Structure 1
């Protein structure tokens, strides 16, 4: 009898408790524990010293999709300033009341809902893949640029045109919409300049982040 009562109560309370536990875990995993933006975003070596795992994520994305590490990080710099929950500011109704946002851009890579949903489908719709996690944001950037290279013929070592396609969408890029937007072309040039600068910086410190075995330590690993 007692066993039946316990099983009944567990079945009654178990799901709400489980939901609460999952909710707390998700909050801690994806929000409260999100890392702060790097103290010195101007130097890629300092960024990776502060967040070494970001180097691992960028390297994995490069190996999977082909976009150089420095280009990925330059995209994130200009998209979100390395803020995990970045969103466009809300419009103001009558200049006073906070209203809707101009786009659905969200997270490190400022991925829009349609592109992000396409990315999720391409990655088997894994529920834990979120835009506020640098691992998946960088993988998204690499995946998007891979499709740009495949469908629009843009070289993966051409940050300027990769970013134009990222900003305008591949369809807009192929139609040349950016040609009527001086601010966008200027931004793409800044992305390229930063990507090249980041790459030069990375050459001086890459070895620091390549100690994969427990017995390896910098500078005696490669």
Structure 2
């Protein structure tokens, strides 16, 4: 293989990878606009709902809070002596801010061993799995954005021990997630029939 051909192939691969990186939606406050901009996100979210019985607005509100829809979001750095960077405060990464051990559990329990935390489709499915498990383990309704966010942040054991009760800031954040989920749910009800239309119908009828 010639050097020029290798360079061409490498360039195509790099362009492909860059093209796969999805920028955050331009109007994150409006769930309809998010899905109009990113139609594949709606398809992935609908698949998640069908698989796990989780309302779309719940994981989307949590994702907004956790990563602002950034595919490569990471927690802030920890510092040694307040000066020297010393790793991250946790292993959370990607759209869902899933920690490595929990992501490993998801892969093992679902058989989705090729899942990636910087893939929206995999991240929303992970969140559906987590919310479904919170319902089974702790009895929290899949429609309860407040309780689900506390599970998401504290883990199933932490929620059961009510560790969140000593964290007023966390309960305030959970309330914001609840409010956003309500807003997202109302928005989705207005536009979901339109989002369900296939590309051919949209092309023919606008």
In structure 2, the residue matched to 1:7 is none
Is 1:44 aligned to 2:31, yes or no? Answer: yes
Alignment length, in residue pairs?
Answer: 201
Is 1:169 aligned to 2:155, yes or no? Answer: yes
TM-score of the aligned structures, taking structure 2 as reference length: 0.88
Distance 1:67 1:114, change over 3 A: same
Is 1:54 aligned to 2:54, yes or no? Answer: no
What are the ranges of 5 or more consecutive residues in structure 1 without an aligned counterpart? Answer: 1-13, 15-21
Is 1:217 aligned to 2:199, yes or no? Answer: no
In structure 1, the residue matched to 2:169 is 183
CA RMSD, 1 decimal: 2.6
| Higher Rg of the two aligned structures | 1
CA distance in structure 2 between the partners assigned to 1:153 and 1:219 by the alignment:
46
Distance 1:114 1:59, change over 3 A: same
Q: Counterparts in 2 of 1:67-216, with a 5 A limit?
A: 67-127=54-114, 129-212=115-198, 215-216=200-201
Distance 1:208 1:219, change over 3 A: farther
CA distance in structure 2 between the partners assigned to 1:121 and 1:24 by the alignment:
35
Q: What per-residue deviation string (whole Å, max 9, x for no partner) do you get for residues 20-56 of structure 1?
A: xx99888666655211111111111111111111111
TM-score of the aligned structures, taking structure 1 as reference length: 0.82
Confirm or deny: 8 A CA contact 1:207 1:218 kept in the other structure: no
CA distance in structure 2 between the partners assigned to 1:23 and 1:117 by the alignment:
31
